[in-house]
């Protein structure tokens, strides 16, 4: 029998759309929080994408439909705020202020309310569009991605939105733990720059600009994708113990220290590429796993989900990837996504 979730009793309001904000609050709902999604008259735009898309970001929530541009909508908002622990807003700064969704605007109704504003450039950063790929381009992510000498690239998923959602959930919980109400400001820009940690530190402290290495790691060698006789293999060899085990299995000599491998990157990569061509990616994975060498064959998402069926859950008729948090004694129920205005319609 599953016990209550670690966030049971926590009441969170969400005024968000599409991905970053809804992802943040869904993670909290998975952990037992009661999340009420405050939607405009037409609903969250993600409802128009597809039912599966909406479900992947909004399972287990309640839905209240409010027109925040009206006095009636504002009155109902204030009623909800009185009983809430936190409000997470994922809109541009001018809209956050215009709809009265800041701590300063709401503390009269609940001075212990935690208000999280999740925006593109920060509450003082203006209303310039800040969609995921725009932020990746603006913060250096795209410039780091791709083959040397080739065009910049983007990953095939919404890394900025998802990362910012995780950060917003963490910021919300941190302020709740403090026992005080207040405003928390999280931006996609700040989150992505934070994730460029060691690249940024190298530039700021040593003047070393990041290099596009085709996905290879800037410090560890070999740590990248390699072609094999069939498919590609990811290697991530850091310390010398890994290298010795891999080199012995692959029949490679020399380059025994981390510093030597970094200093002779091209030579090491060439030797590894030649060795890996002798077998398939799946066979290399099977050979290296017993040696505890960090390696994996490149799989498609369908292959990955098939390989790890325990990550897939059912929520209201939708098969989705479950919560990344495994808490002892607690098993999320994964409720269905709500119908628009199902738990209140104040429009």
List the catalytic residues.
Answer: 161
Partners of 30 in the β-ladder: none
Report in angstroms the alpha-carbon separations of 190 from 161, 168, 229, 333.
12, 11, 41, 33
Nearest to 230 by CA among 273, 283, 275, 271: 283
Q: Kind of pairing, strands 312-315 and 318-321? A: antiparallel
With vertex at residue 88, the alpha carbon angle to CA 85 and CA 92, rounded to the nearest 5 degrees, is: 150
**Residue 309 contacts residue 297 (beta carbons within 8 Å):** no
Nearest to 114 by CA among 23, 35, 178: 178
CA distance 172 to 31: 14
Nearest to 58 by CA among 90, 17, 88, 99: 17
Q: Going by C-beta distance under 8 Å and a sequence separation of 6 or more, which residues neighbour residue 296?
A: 233, 234, 285
In three-state secondary structure terms, 56 is: helix
What residue has token string 């119908």?
339
**Residue 287 contacts residue 229 (beta carbons within 8 Å):** no
């Amino acid at each position: 029998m599953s016990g209550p979730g670690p966030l049971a009793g926590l009441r969170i309001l969400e005024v968000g759309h599409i991905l970053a904000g809804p992802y943040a609050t869904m993670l909290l709902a998975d952990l037992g929080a009661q999340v009420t999604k405050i939607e405009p008259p037409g609903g969250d735009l993600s409802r128009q994408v597809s039912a599966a898309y909406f479900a992947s970001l909004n399972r287990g929530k309640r839905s209240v439909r409010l027109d925040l541009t009206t006095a009636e909508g504002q009155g109902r908002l204030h009623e909800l705020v009185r009983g809430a622990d936190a409000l997470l807003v994922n809109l541009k700064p001018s809209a956050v202020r215009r709809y009265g969704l800041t701590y300063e605007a709401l503390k009269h109704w609940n001075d212990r309310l935690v208000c999280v504003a999740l925006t593109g450039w920060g509450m003082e950063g203006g209303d310039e569009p800040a969609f995921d790929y725009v932020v990746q381009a603006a913060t250096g992510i795209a410039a780091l991605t791709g083959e040397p000498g080739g065009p910049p690239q983007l990953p095939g998923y919404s890394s900025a939105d998802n990362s910012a959602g995780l950060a917003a959930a963490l910021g919300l919980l941190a302020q709740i733990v403090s026992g005080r109400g207040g405003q928390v400001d999280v931006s996609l820009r700040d989150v992505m720059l934070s994730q460029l940690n060691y690249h940024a530190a190298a530039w700021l402290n040593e003047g070393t600009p990041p290099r596009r290495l085709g996905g290879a790691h800037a410090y560890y060698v070999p740590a990248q994708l390699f072609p094999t006789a069939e498919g590609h293999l990811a290697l991530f060899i850091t310390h010398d113990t890994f290298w010795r085990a891999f080199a012995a299995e692959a029949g490679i000599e020399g380059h025994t220290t981390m510093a030597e491998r970094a200093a002779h990157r091209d030579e090491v990569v060439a030797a590894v590429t030649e060795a890996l061509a002798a077998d398939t990616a799946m066979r290399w994975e099977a050979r290296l796993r017993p040696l505890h060498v960090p390696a994996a064959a490149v799989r498609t998402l369908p292959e990955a989900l098939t390989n790890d069926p325990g990550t897939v859950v059912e929520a209201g008729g939708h098969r989705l990837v479950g919560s990344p948090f495994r808490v002892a004694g607690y098993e999320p129920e994964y409720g269905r996504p709500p119908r628009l205005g199902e738990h209140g319609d104040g429009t």
